[in-house]
């Protein structure tokens, strides 16, 4: 069957849909898809191909001109002209035409996890101060960072930091903080400090004074010190004794 048969009246209006494009062997192919399930399919999720493809599995040579690809061309390039197999190969090999806003929306939950992690754990290695969340978010957009919604957050963070190195200095760092708490403040602060990070050591003086050493993400240090000071009305002595990556 010659897939070029038919006229422009058979074309599918894109509307809320988008295209997957693939070029090979000097030929271009285009397919109309639903953006979100198509994106999830390309991310390796278990999505029914019937939910991805729109318009009856028509593979176009040029969608805007209404030209359909022939079976011979499909067989030459994809090794098959079977509709669903060609569609799957198009999605695996081709370029999904999504806007930055669409990509962001489809992975927003994972993006938020990554931003949370960077905000807490990453600092500017030159100043040892946290980078603002919005600045990190903007830098990720500018660098074209790709978020994989199913990949481990920490693994993506390492890659993203490397990708942003030239535009936004970031390094993962934690701080070891020593808190010396007067007896009258140990009640409200003991549990709070234990939950603030990883307790490293604690020691009780004969007069009830608590010395606790806690390891926390560097991005949280400033906020933690401020909160401890507020809770104790400035009576707790806090010292950052170490910072390391």
**CATH number for 196:** 3.30.70.240
Looking at the fold, whether 15 and 60 belong to one and the same domain comes out as: yes
Domain count, the chain: 3
2 in a structural domain: no
3 in a structural domain: no
132 in a structural domain: yes
Close Cβ partners of 22 (under 8 Å, ≥ 6 residues apart): 28, 29, 30, 90, 93, 94, 95
pLDDT of residue 128: 81
Looking at the fold, whether 14 and 76 belong to one and the same domain comes out as: yes
CATH number at residue 158: 1.10.10.900
Looking at the fold, whether 85 and 142 belong to one and the same domain comes out as: no
Looking at the fold, whether 16 and 90 belong to one and the same domain comes out as: yes
Confidence (pTM):
0.56
27 in a structural domain: yes
Residue at a domain's end among 49, 76, 96: 96
pLDDT of residue 182: 95
Residue 85, domain extent: 8-96
pLDDT of residue 14: 63
CATH number at residue 64: 3.30.1250.10
101 in a structural domain: no
Contacts 24+ apart (CB under 8 A), 133-138: 135/168, 136/164, 136/168, 136/170
CB atoms within 10 A of CB 162: 10
Residue at a domain's end among 47, 74, 96: 96
The series of mean pLDDT values per 10 residues for the chain, 245 residues long, is 40 72 94 91 87 90 92 94 94 89 83 92 86 94 85 90 90 93 95 94 96 92 92 95 81
102 in a structural domain: no
């Amino acid at each position: 069957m010659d897939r070029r048969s038919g006229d422009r009246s058979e074309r599918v209006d894109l509307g809320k849909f988008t295209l997957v494009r693939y070029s090979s062997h000097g030929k271009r192919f285009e397919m109309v898809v639903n953006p979100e399930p198509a994106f999830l399919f390309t991310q390796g999720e278990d999505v029914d191909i019937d939910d991805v493809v729109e318009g009856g599995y028509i593979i176009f040579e040029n969608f805007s001109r209404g030209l359909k690809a022939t079976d011979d061309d499909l067989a030459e390039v994809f090794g098959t002209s079977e509709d669903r197999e060609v569609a799957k190969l198009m999605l695996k090999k081709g370029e999904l035409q999504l806007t930055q806003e669409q990509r962001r929306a489809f992975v927003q939950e994972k993006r938020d996890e990554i931003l949370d992690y960077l905000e807490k754990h990453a600092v500017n290695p030159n100043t040892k101060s946290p980078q603002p969340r919005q600045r990190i978010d903007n830098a990720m957009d500018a660098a074209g960072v790709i978020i994989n919604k199913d990949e481990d957050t920490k693994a993506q963070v390492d890659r993203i930091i490397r990708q942003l190195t030239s535009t936004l200095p970031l390094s993962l760092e934690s701080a070891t903080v020593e808190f010396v708490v007067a007896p009258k403040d140990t009640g409200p602060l003991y549990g709070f400090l234990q939950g603030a990070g990883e307790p490293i050591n604690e020691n009780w003086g004969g007069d009830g004074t608590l010395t606790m050493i806690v390891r926390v993400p560097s991005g949280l240090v400033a906020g933690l010190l401020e909160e401890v000071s507020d809770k104790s009305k400035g009576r707790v002595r806090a010292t950052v004794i170490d910072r390391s990556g």
